């Protein structure tokens, strides 16, 4: 009997070990592929308008030229703002139309001479933005040197219209003239000044 119990002991230990072994953990759920992530909405397509209209000029302390459509809507304008203590020099103010529900963050300028852009801000009414640029830079060159048509883009609204000589004239006139730095005047000789001169000898006999 004792021998029988000894013989059965290994089998009993194996059976107990089998019942007490912890169950294997389930594998972690696989991460969702990037393709299944929520896609961002696509940017709205740019709506291009080929505008016809006229240019007008407003004179004053801050002269402005404006292109308005045949229906009278001001589509684009450039003003020459007089210098202030903050700017130190005249500045160009550029206004254009944009999408009322999605205004652009910058105004893009395309011309036959070059391309340029300025950061834009709301112009105080829906559907309009404005930006500022220094004279003599890329914006100056794109607007004043372009020929034929201008293309202005803000947000998803783009407008093309013919340029005009009055635009070039206003922008060029807004740029301050170049002033060559004055050269240092030659130093005066010791004991002499510009205000004093050697007295002339009096004629003899007087």
pTM above 0.75? Answer: no
DSSP 3-state assignment of 166?
helix
Along the 206 residues of the chain, how does pLDDT read in single tens digits? 444 444 444 555 444 454 444 555 555 555 555 555 565 656 668 889 999 999 999 999 999 999 999 999 999 999 999 999 999 999 999 999 998 888 889 999 999 999 999 999 999 888 999 999 999 899 999 999 999 999 999 999 999 999 999 999 999 999 987 666 665 445 555 555 445 444 455 444 44
Q: Dihedrals φ, ψ of 120, to 5°? A: -115, 160
Domains and CATH numbers, the chain: 47-174 (2.60.40)
DSSP 3-state assignment of 13?
helix
Taking the C-alpha atoms of residue 72 and residue 162, their distance in angstroms, rounded to an integer, is 16
Taking the C-alpha atoms of residue 92 and residue 62, their distance in angstroms, rounded to an integer, is 10
Check residue 21 and report its DSSP letter.
Answer: S
State the Cα angle at 37 between 33 and 43, rounded to 5°: 135
Nearest to 69 by CA among 41, 45, 97, 90: 97
């Amino acid at each position: 009997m004792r021998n029988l119990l000894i013989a059965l002991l290994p089998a009993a230990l194996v059976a107990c070990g089998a019942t007490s072994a912890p169950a294997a953990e389930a594998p972690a759920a696989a991460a969702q592929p990037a393709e299944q992530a929520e896609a961002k909405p696509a940017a709205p397509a740019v709506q291009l308008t080929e505008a016809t209209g006229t240019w007008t000029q407003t004179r004053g302390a801050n002269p402005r030229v404006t292109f308005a459509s045949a229906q009278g809507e001001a589509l684009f304008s450039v003003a020459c703002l007089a210098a202030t203590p903050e700017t130190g020099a005249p500045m160009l103010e550029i206004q254009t139309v944009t999408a009322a529900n999605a205004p652009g963050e910058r105004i893009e300028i395309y011309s036959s001479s070059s391309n340029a852009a300025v950061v834009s801000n709301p112009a105080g009414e829906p559907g309009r933005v404005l930006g500022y640029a220094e004279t003599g830079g890329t914006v100056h060159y794109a607007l004043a040197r372009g020929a034929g048509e201008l293309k202005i883009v803000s947000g998803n609204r783009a407008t093309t219209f013919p340029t005009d000589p009055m635009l070039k004239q206003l922008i060029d006139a807004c740029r301050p003239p170049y002033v060559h730095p004055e050269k240092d005047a030659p130093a005066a000789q010791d004991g002499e000044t510009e205000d004093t001169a050697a007295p002339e000898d009096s004629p003899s006999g007087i």
